[in-house]
Amino acid sequence: MSTPGGTAEDSTFVRTYTLTRGRTRPRHLLDLDTVLDAGPGRPGPGQAGECEEILSLCREHRRSVTELAGCLGRPVTAVKILISDLLDANALVVPITAPYAESDAGSETDARPSPQLLAALSAGLKRKWPNAVAYPQAG
C-alpha cells in the first residue's frame, strides 16, 4: 500500500508515543544539563533502538540530556523517558563529581568556599529577600 510520502515499509519515522510506550513523564528528575555516562548494565528487552544509540553516544564520552536529544533528533521529554529506563537498568549513570574541584595544584589544599565568599553570598541573599525567615544554625 502506498502513502503520499512513499510506502509504509520505507518509512523510518516512529511516533514519539510509540518510543515511550505512551508514557509522558520520566521517572527520574533530569535537568537539560544533567550529564550521563555509560554504566555496567544493559537495556532491557523490547526497549527502543534509540536506547542503544544513547548508550553508544555515552560510551564515547559523557553527554548531557540536551546533547542526546539533539543527536537523536527527538523531543527532550521523550529522550528523558528513555534515559529514565536506562537509569533503571543501570545502563546509564549520573557521574558524581567532587563538589569543589581543585583549580590549581599549587593552591591551598582546602578547596571549600572562603568565609569572605560565604559572607558576600549571605549579604546578597539578605538584600534580595529582606523579609525571609532566618533559621537558627543547626548543630
Domain locations in the chain as residue ranges: 13-93
pTM greater than the 0.85 cutoff: no
**CA nearest neighbour of 92 among 45, 124, 58:** 58
User: Using an 8 Å Cβ cutoff, are 38 and 92 in contact?
Assistant: yes
pLDDT, one tens digit per residue, over 1-48 is 444 555 444 445 567 666 777 777 888 888 888 999 999 988 877 776
pLDDT, one tens digit per residue, over 56-68 is 999 999 999 999 9
Instruction: Give, in order, the Cα–Cα distances in Å from 127 to each of 1, 48, 113, 131, 135.
Output: 68, 50, 21, 9, 17
Q: Report, as an integer, the average pLDDT of 61-80.
A: 91
